[in-house]
Chains A and B, each alone.
Chain A
Amino acid sequence: MARKRTAEEMYDVVIAGGGYVGLSLAVALKQGDADIKCAVVDPKPMDQLHKDPRASAIAAAASRMLVQLGLWENLLSEAQPINEMIVTDSKLRDAVRPVFLTFDGGASDGEPFAHMVPNGVMMPALYKAAKSLGVHFEAPAVADTFRTSPDHVELTLENGSVLKTRLLVAADGVRSKLRDLAGIRTVDWDYGQSGIVTTVKHERPHNGRAEEHFLPSGPFAILPLPGNRSSLVWTERTSDADRLVKSDDFTFDLELERRFGHHLGKLESEGSRRAYPLGLKLARDFVKPRFALVGDAAHGIHPIAGQGLNLGFKDVAAFAEVLVEARRLGQDIGAMDVLERYQRWRRFDTFQMGVVTDVLNRLFSNDNDILRAARDFGLGLVDRMPGLKTHFIKEAAGFAGPVPKLLSGEPI
């Protein structure tokens, strides 16, 4: 058996998972309350974060949180603003894809409604901020099991270390191990689809335009990166996606071109490509005594609307606000009455977003001509009704629902 080392120190919050959700929660907590004792546990070595090849779409509200956390200015120089977004609905063989929805202008004047930020820039920035604020890191280290007492939680790591904390937060992703250990069940939909994520170089500039094509196999999203490069999220049936990812570059690029089109000139896929199985996974509870789920651990949603990260940041902003305010009132942050405030705030919003994206995906991922006519009629209506479109822009930019302080550009 592994050697046991029980630290005498009692943490206020231990966060399992050092992704953008876990790290930004740690930074937000420390900035709201410098006295809070906080640790982050993650299986990855934290000095390898710059190697993450992916990019994330950061909606306007989420970028306001990064402004508040003091990180945005440094990310901005590496970020690509999305100034325009088009949505089309087409068959693969359609030579010209009619554009049904155009979103331009931002959430408010002069503010692009989203930015594409390379993870390899954002993640190290979050880590550095957390480290400099005094967050303790156990990485690389794997959370093994935990035991909840009335007044604290003991988290045992695979290396035998034990962390004592008032509150354990699971930010360990959509297949959260801690969520399963806590006995929190999920509601699952499996789409039988996978999202291929890769980067392409193209000949002509994208001018900050994002495109979402609803192809019969699922949505195909092109998100502009700095330079003549774009990030792709390409949905296919899981078996097709696996085949495509494993195929040679020639075959892959050929299939890519059929979907991408030729409007940006010659294409060349760049770097690695990976397929992620897509599903909708919502936790039935977000909290238990001294335990809470944030980000994908609480809600893995279909990436069709690009809302996973933004929902995660909304969780972080709301949860940090609830916890810091509870500390300012002298409350026990692991007690259910405090945790329930977070759950009430986030669960409905999350469920609503999950259902909307689910319906969108079911509606669009097929080749039925009648459905196509119906949804095109619907999209056309949306395009002609300014009020509704504004609502969609606001929703996409993350401003719908009661807004936590960090997302409206205020400190906690």
Chain B
Amino acid sequence: MTVRPDATQGTIDSEEVARFSAMAQDWWDPTGKFKPLHKFNPVRLSYIKQEVCRQFGRDPKAVDAFKGLRFLDIGCGGGLLSEPMARLGADVVGADPSETNIEIARLHMKTSGLEIDYRAETAESLAAAGESFDVVLNMEVVEHVANAPLFLKSTAGMVRPGGLMFVATINRTLKAYALAIVGAEYVLRWLPKGTHSYEKLVRPGEIEAPLGEAGLSIVDRLGVTFNPLTDSWSRSRDMDVNYMMLAAREQAE
């Protein structure tokens, strides 16, 4: 794999990039290594659909509800989120520091018959280029970067006035350690060992502060919990393990 010069600095942790590239072939197999992410997709997709439609006055039942909105999917991996957004009509920029992931995402996009602007780029370089978006999706990424506050600030800076940022991550609690690391990686083997490390998990307060500094205000926070009986994820009030946050930038006067 090729690592861009800029990927060695800033918020990128090159060990993490290499680990994910090794797994990239499996991105699109719903029964493969990324099965948990595929299972997780409906709950986050329905939350994104609902909140974006509310913010921009779109019909939540429409299959082209995101038409004309510009999205950034930061840390897009194989494109598991970028593709649904594009299918709903959004102009999507999918960014990931791993060239391998971006190649896989591009390949898959073509077979899906979609147009997505995939870039092997970092949040900082996008921000430096002056990019801006109606919606920034910051999903299951912040716990993998080297400098979370800096990463959050640079992504938040790209949210346009009246725009939204979604953050999904894992809390740094003992319960999260037990369920998301010991449970998911060692007991159930949903995720390869070493996918998450405890020190990198992020508490809600550690997200709120940098977003606030970047001028966003938190408008919603919710937990996402797994129900083993129905084998599915659903929204809840329990933010101890997986959780999501929604932040908005005020409309320009």
A interface list, Cβ under 8 A from B: 10, 33, 35-36, 149-152, 327-332, 335-337, 340, 344
Identify 20 residue pairs between A and B in the complex whose beta-carbon atoms are under 8 Å apart, listed by A's number: A35-B63, A36-B63, A150-B28, A152-B111, A327-B63, A328-B60, A328-B63, A328-B65, A329-B42, A329-B46, A329-B84, A329-B88, A330-B66, A330-B88, A331-B42, A331-B45, A337-B30, A337-B38, A337-B41, A344-B231
Q: How large is the interface on B (under 10, 10 to 19, 20 to 34, 35 or more residues)?
A: 20 to 34
Q: Which residues of the other chain, A, contact B237 by a CB distance below 8 angstroms?
A: none
Q: Which residues of the other chain, A, contact B28 by a CB distance below 8 angstroms?
A: 150
> B2 interface residue, CB < 8 Å from A?
no
Q: How far is the CA of A296 from the CA of B45 in the complex (A)?
A: 33
Grouping DSSP codes into helix (H, G, I), strand (E, B) and loop, the A interface class, with mixed when no group exceeds half, is loop
Q: Beyond the given A331-B45, A335-B30, A336-B30, could you list 19 further A-B residue pairs with CB under 8 A, ordered by the A residue number?
A: A10-B113, A36-B63, A149-B111, A151-B111, A151-B112, A328-B49, A328-B63, A328-B65, A329-B42, A329-B46, A329-B49, A330-B45, A330-B85, A330-B88, A332-B87, A337-B38, A337-B39, A337-B41, A337-B42
With a 10 A CB-CB cut-off, give which of A35, A152, A336, A337 has the most chain B CB atoms: A337
Q: Which residues of the other chain, A, contact B60 by a CB distance below 8 angstroms?
A: 328
Q: How far is the CA of A152 from the CA of B30 in the complex (A)?
A: 16
Q: How far is the CA of A33 from the CA of B42 in the complex (A)?
A: 18
> B86 interface residue, CB < 8 Å from A?
yes
CB-CB under 8 A for A330 and B30, given A151-B112, A344-B231: no
Number of A-B contacts (CB under 8 A): 53
CB-CB under 8 A for A336 and B31, given A33-B63, A151-B112, A330-B83: yes
Are B113 and A332 in touch, CB under 8 angstroms? no
> B64 interface residue, CB < 8 Å from A?
yes
Are B87 and A330 in touch, CB under 8 angstroms? yes
Q: How far is the CA of A152 from the CA of B113 in the complex (A)?
A: 11
Q: How far is the CA of A328 from the CA of B61 in the complex (A)?
A: 6
Q: How far is the CA of A329 from the CA of B28 in the complex (A)?
A: 17
Q: How far is the CA of A51 from the CA of B86 in the complex (A)?
A: 46
Least CB distance, A64 to chain B, in whole angstroms = 20
Of all A-B residue pairs in the complex, the 8 with the closest CB atoms, nearest first, are: A330-B84, A151-B111, A330-B87, A329-B45, A337-B30, A330-B88, A336-B30, A337-B38
Q: How far is the CA of A355 from the CA of B101 in the complex (A)?
A: 48
Q: How far is the CA of A151 from the CA of B49 in the complex (A)?
A: 24
Q: Which residues of the other chain, B, contact A149 by a CB distance below 8 angstroms?
A: 111
Chain B, residues 63-86, CB within 8 Å of chain A (1/0): the string is: 111100000000000000001111
Are A330 and B61 in touch, CB under 8 angstroms? no
Q: Which residues of the other chain, A, contact B30 by a CB distance below 8 angstroms?
A: 335-337, 340
Q: How far is the CA of A327 from the CA of B65 in the complex (A)?
A: 11
CB-CB under 8 A for A150 and B111, given A331-B41, A336-B30: yes
Q: Which residues of the other chain, B, contact A331 by a CB distance below 8 angstroms?
A: 41-42, 45, 84, 87
8 A Cβ contacts from B14-31 to A:
28, 30-31
Least CB distance, B232 to chain A, in whole angstroms = 8
Q: How far is the CA of A210 from the CA of B78 in the complex (A)?
A: 58
Q: Which residues of the other chain, A, contact B113 by a CB distance below 8 angstroms?
A: 10, 151
Q: How far is the CA of A344 from the CA of B31 in the complex (A)?
A: 15
Q: Which residues of the other chain, A, contact B231 by a CB distance below 8 angstroms?
A: 344
With a 10 A CB-CB cut-off, give which of B30, B86, B88 has the most chain A CB atoms: B30
Q: How far is the CA of A340 from the CA of B230 in the complex (A)?
A: 12
Chain B, residues 183-218, CB within 8 Å of chain A (1/0): the string is: 000000000000000000000000000000000000
Q: Which residues of the other chain, A, contact B112 by a CB distance below 8 angstroms?
A: 151, 332
With a 10 A CB-CB cut-off, give which of A33, A150, A330 has the most chain B CB atoms: A330
Q: How far is the CA of A328 from the CA of B59 in the complex (A)?
A: 10
